[in-house]
Structures are given as structure tokens and as C-alpha cells.
Amino acid sequence: MARTLWGKVYYMGDSYAGRLQEEPGGRCVFTYDPSYLESGQPAIAHTLQLRQQPYISERGLHSFFDNLVAEGWMRDAQARKLGIDPSNRFALLLGFGHDLAGAVSVEDPEPEKRKQLDDSDEATLAALRGKASLSGIQRKLLVVKENDSYRSVGPNELSTHIAKLPSGNLSNLLELEYLSTLAVSELLPGDDVVGMELIHLPEIDESALIIPRFDRTSRGKRIHFEEFNQLLGKFSGDQKYEGSYEEMGRFIQTTPSCIPAEADRLLRRILACLLVGNTDAHFKNFAMFHKRDGLRLTPCYDLVAASYYPDFKSIALDIAGAGSLAIGSLKPKHLVDLAKGFGLTDEAISSAVEDIGNRRESALEALEDSDIGPKGVREDLQEMMKKRWNGSFASIGQLLSKKQSKGAKANG
């Protein structure tokens, strides 16, 4: 007889927050522990506010927990290790829930023996040494930095860095992410963008893009955050592509714990993503910290000029009412209407575009001076940015002036 799956949910590693249980039929229930409710600790998720009544999800894991489970290559490897079907997301969370994104962990009170995998490659074995999970379909490891080197995280450790690995289907993926991130950091000099280094990882004998975890302190303590997929109550998988960029802007404008300035900041990030050709900027690639004074944007991350590849020419989310819009069809009116959807003024969009325009040459020069990746990749990225600026950004000021003139005439 199959055992009832349940897990202990902790906040910041040691505060027992409640019980997560799977019921017959796949329904899942999360209930805050009474002592946690009385402790003065915060809610573990925006969609799981503090209350005595249980939270019931009829379709499996609640969206907050569902987005913590591994995907793709890591999910399949974890399923093999546990001897379960990869679709059993509750069991995956229990088996690998110690080191998750943010400050919440899930521990299995009755852990089962894991299978020994001797026929796997070194990267897979390294990914399974710890009890760690990270969403996203790209091959990646969670690693710990020791002095000037990195190793895979152990069973009872918290990782300090993410190591992204090459993809056999997408050539120069690591180099492209490095260069895309470099360009965005130049376009948004006053913003916070993740750092990274491209190295050879001896443990698996592969190249790796090493990225510090912004949800860990320098001493390895947890910092809580949620992706917008979680904040908006969307489930993992294809739902990260279902919706519009404006949804994130409206969330910020209508959520009391946010401040309006973050809407302008997020708009600038989206504009920078579009300029560099990051067509895969979906809901899981934007996130907010849980801070004492409210929700605030995390650093920019997962910045890849995906439109470099032929199969990624469509923008990930709807923009200004247009779905599956090819980036080559992006017009100034789309960007203006996007800003309007964020509740921002003509002056705000003008200022954002002007500031990015003033940094455009610096971004192009940074790509020119970089020694990362083949020269052809850097040149292609530069040309795509120039073409997109001329086709989508350069005439926004003129478009806004025309609208203002028409408005003035109508009022006159």
C-alpha cells in the first residue's frame, strides 16, 4: 500500500511553518502550524497569507510549491534516483526540497532509500549528490564555492552558486548568456544585474557559467524571494508563457506591499531585454524579494538573447495585446502601449527609452571589447541590437509627440 506523502515546510531553514500533504486523488493541502502563526514570522508566499484555515489545491501542488520543483534534465535525473515517475511532483519536492529557490524548504519526515545510479554521466551524478532543486529546463548544477573553486552541493548543504551547463541543441548558449548579461548591465547601469564567470568545472569536465545566488547571503543564509509565476499564482510549465508583461506591471501598481517606482524599473528591464533580443523573458525570469518593507525586485537574471536562434523569434509573453509577436514585428506603438499598461506616463516611457538610448553605444562597445565567445556571435548580437533600435525604439519620441499634438488639438 502506497504511503501518504507529506512534508514539513520550513522558513529560513529552522522555523517550522506548517505541513504539506498529498491526499487521495492528487489534492494537496498546506496548513500553517499554530505556533508559526503566533510567532510573528511572515507568510511563506504572497498567495499563502497567514491564516488558520488550510490551503487546498485540487490540481496537485499549490502554485508556490509547484514552481520550486525541478524541470527538464534535473527533474528526470531526480525521478530516476527516487525510482518514481517524473510527473510525481510532490515526491520530487520531498526528495530534493532542502535547497530550493528562496527561503522555504520542504523536508520528508520518512525519506525512502534512493536508487544507486552507476550508469549516469558525471554531471548527472553531481546534480544528485545534494537535496537541491532549481526550476528551468537548461542543464544546471547547484554548487558551493570553496576558496577559488566550485563543487556540487552535498545532501545537507546550501549552495552558494548556480552552474549552468552547455546545451547540445543550442550552440554557444553559455557565451550568449554571458554576452547578453554584459549588454543589459551596460544598458541599465543604475540597476542590479547578476554577475557571472565562464569557467571549466573539473568535477564534471565541462564548461560552466557560474552565477552567484542572490537568494543567499555571503555567509550562505537564505533570502526569500518569489518569481512572478508564483506571485501571480501560475503553475510551472507552460503557464510561465501564458499572459502579458503588463500583468507584472499591474501587480506592482495594485499590490500594497509594492512601490510604484518598481514598475518603472521593471519596464526598463523589459525594454533592455527586447533590445538585446531576449525573447524568452517569461514570468519565471522576473522576481521580487520579500523584504521587511514589502516586495522589491531581485537583480536581473536569466538574460539570454534567445532570438539569436531560429526557433526563438517570438516574444515569450503578450505585449500590448499582441500574442506570439515576432521580435522583428515589434513596433514603437507596442512599447508605448506596454508602458501604458504599466500605468506609466508618456514622460516615463520617453525617459526610459532616452536613458537606454544613451547607454546603447556603451553596450555595443562592451560586446566589441569582450573576449567571450566567437567573434561572430558578438557581431551578430551587435547587429541585432542596432536593427532593433532603429526598428522599434528610435521613433518612440516622435510617436509620443504626435499623440500629444493630437491630444492638444482635440482639447483645443
pLDDT more than 90, % of the chain: 87
Distance (Å, whole) CA 112 – CA 45: 28
CA-based nearest residue to 141, from 245, 176, 51, 132: 132
Q: What is the pLDDT of residue 323?
A: 95
Q: How many whole angstroms separate alpha carbon 287 and alpha carbon 252? A: 11
Asked if pLDDT for residue 298 goes beyond 90, the answer is yes
**How is the chain split into domains, by residue range?**
6-118, 225-407
| pLDDT attached to residue 319 | 97
From CA 262, how far away is CA 270, in angstroms rounded? 12
Residue 56 phi, psi (nearest 5): -115, 130
Q: Please, what is the average pLDDT of the chain?
A: 93
d(Cα 212, Cα 160) in Å, to the nearest integer?
A: 6
**Percent of all residues in the chain with a pLDDT value above 70, rounded to a whole number:** 96
Which pLDDT does position 113 carry in this prediction? 75
The pLDDT of residue 407: 52
Q: Which of 41-55, 116-130, 314-328, 383-397 has the lowest mean pLDDT?
A: 116-130
Please say if the pLDDT value at position 404 is more than 80: no
What pLDDT does residue 119 have? 65
- For the stretch 338-355, pLDDT in tens is 999 999 999 999 999 999
| Average pLDDT estimate for 134-156 | 92
Mean pLDDT for 18-24 is 95
- Work out the average pLDDT over 243-254: 98
Q: How far apart are the first and last CA of the chain?
A: 79
Residue 409: pLDDT over 70 = no
Q: What's the average model confidence in pLDDT over 277-303?
A: 97
Compute how many other C-beta atoms are within 10 angstroms of the C-beta atom of residue 151: 17
Note whether 165 and 139 are within 8 A (CB).
Answer: yes
Position 400 scores a pLDDT of 82
Under 8 Å between Cβ of 330 and 388: yes
Q: Is 310 exposed, middle or buried (0-12, 13-18, 19+ CB in 10 A)?
A: exposed
Q: What pLDDT, on a 0 to 100 scale, did the predictor assign at position 405? A: 54
Average pLDDT over residues 367-388: 97
**The CATH classification of domain 225-407, taken from the options 2.20.140.10, 1.10.1070.20, 3.40.47.10, 1.10.10.60:** 1.10.1070.20
Q: Give yes or no for a contact between 76 and 111, defined as CB atoms under 8 angstroms apart.
A: no
Q: What is the distance between the alpha carbons of residues 364 and 313, in angstroms, rounded to a whole number?
A: 21
Q: What confidence tier does 114 reach under pLDDT thresholds 50, 70, 90?
A: confident
Query: How long, in residues, is the chain?
Result: 412
Q: What mean pLDDT do residues 241-258 have? A: 97
Is residue 408 over pLDDT 60?
Answer: no
pLDDT band at 1 (very low <50, low <70, confident <90, very high): very low
Give the CA-trace dihedral at 261, 267, 272, 277, to 10 degrees: 160
Mean pLDDT of 86-113: 94
Quote the pLDDT of residue 316: 98
What pLDDT is attached to residue 153?
94
Q: Convert the chain into a string of H (helix), E (strand) and C (coil).
A: CCCCCEEEEEECCCEEEEEEEECCCCCEEEEECHHHHHHCCCCCECCECCCCCCEEECCCCCHHHHCCCCCHHHHHHHHHHHCCCCCCHHHHHHHCCCECCCCEEEECCCCCCCCCCCCCCHHHHHHCCCCECCCCCCCEEEEEEECCEEEECCCCCCCCEEEECCCCCCCCHHHHHHHHHHHHHHHCCCCCECCCEEEEECCCCEEEEEEECCCECCCCCECCEEEHHHHCCCCCCHHHHCCEHHHHHHHHHHCCCCCCHHHHHHHHHHHHHHHHCCCCCCHHHCEEEEECCEEEECCECCCCCHHHCCCCCECCCEECCECCCEHHHCCHHHHHHHHHHCCCCHHHHHHHHHHHHHHHHHHHHHHHHCCCCCHHHHHHHHHHHHHHHHHHHCCHHHHHHHHHHHHHHHHC
Amino acid symbol at 79? A
Mean pLDDT of 274-279: 98
**What are the CA-CA distances from residue 56 to residues 25, 67, 90 (Å)?**
13, 16, 14
